[in-house]
Amino acid sequence: MNRIYYPGTLDKSIEIKDEKSHKISSVLRMKINDKIQIFNGRGTSQIMQINEISKNSIHLKRVNSMIKTEKKYPEIILALALIKPSRFEIAIEKTAELGVSKIYPMVTENTNTVFEKRINENRMERMKNIAISASEQCGNDFLTIIENPLSFNEIINFQNKDTGIIMYYENLKETIKKEIDIQGFSRLIILIGPEGGFSDSEYRLINDKSYVLELGENILRTETAAICAVHEVKNMIKAIL
């Protein structure tokens, strides 16, 4: 069944306008009496039926009870170093499909300043829309939130007794911690560096405060590393549930 994100209150009847109404009528080619799943990105969804289609809006009515989904913990937060926008957007799309809770564009010592300067209001809006489309596609009733860019130091300062940090470091010469105990955390932040990886000083700064892992022998592109890391952490979580 087709799914559409609706940020407002899920009432018995709602009206969808503008781009979303165009998507329903012209892209999905849905008609009156067709059913569609509407979700609010905060864990609630409902099946609705198209009641009326006009040029710029669509009216829907609820046909089934609302479904409320409980959020799973620990939630996964991705702090991803800024890279070429098109590749960063691939990482957003795929990790949102995997169900990350938030994505922080991250500025590190090796981040290309050109990419940092390209982050503006329009770019942020585009990234948020990519995350919305991914959530619509994958069936996740919780929207992946795209946060404003933060520095590496700001990200690691989030760590506390409820928040664990996992750095994927391609220059790892030895296993720092053989066993990873993520039980007890309500949040896990995954750190993925840019082309060239994290600097030695960043590695030294975080080594005593978090888990440091690698993703195998091959050197992965940043967006590939993000996807693999999220999948790996999801499997860690699945193993303890």
pLDDT for the residue numbered 209: 64
Write down the CATH number for the domain with range 3-68: 2.40.240.20
Write down the CATH number for the domain with range 75-240: 3.40.1280.10
Is residue 167 over pLDDT 60?
yes
pLDDT band at 214 (very low <50, low <70, confident <90, very high): confident
Q: What is the mean pLDDT of residues 144-153?
A: 96
Range scoring the smallest mean pLDDT among 43-57, 140-154, 173-187:
173-187
Domain boundaries, the chain: 3-68, 75-240
Q: What is the pTM of this model?
A: 0.90
Q: Quick one: tokens of 192?
A: 């993925």
pLDDT for the residue numbered 115: 92
Answer yes or no: are the C-beta atoms of 233 and 188 closer than 8 Å: yes
* Residues 188-203: tens digit of each pLDDT: 999 999 988 899 899 8
Q: What is the mean pLDDT of residues 116-138?
A: 94
* Residues 73-107: tens digit of each pLDDT: 899 999 999 999 999 999 999 999 999 999 999 99
pLDDT for the residue numbered 49: 96
Is residue 216 over pLDDT 90?
no
pLDDT for the residue numbered 240: 75
pLDDT for the residue numbered 241: 66
H-helix segments, 60-151: 85-98, 113-117, 121-138
DSSP 6-31: --S---SEEEEEHHHHHIIIIIS---
Q: Cα–Cα distance between 190 and 202 in angstroms, integer?
A: 14
Q: Cα–Cα distance between 50 and 195 in angstroms, integer?
A: 47
User: pLDDT averaged over the chain?
Assistant: 90
pLDDT band at 178 (very low <50, low <70, confident <90, very high): very low
* Residues 25-68: tens digit of each pLDDT: 888 899 999 999 999 999 999 999 999 998 889 999 999 889 99
Is residue 238 over pLDDT 90?
no
Left (φ > 0), alpha (ψ -120 to 50) or beta: where does 123 sit? alpha
pLDDT for the residue numbered 208: 67
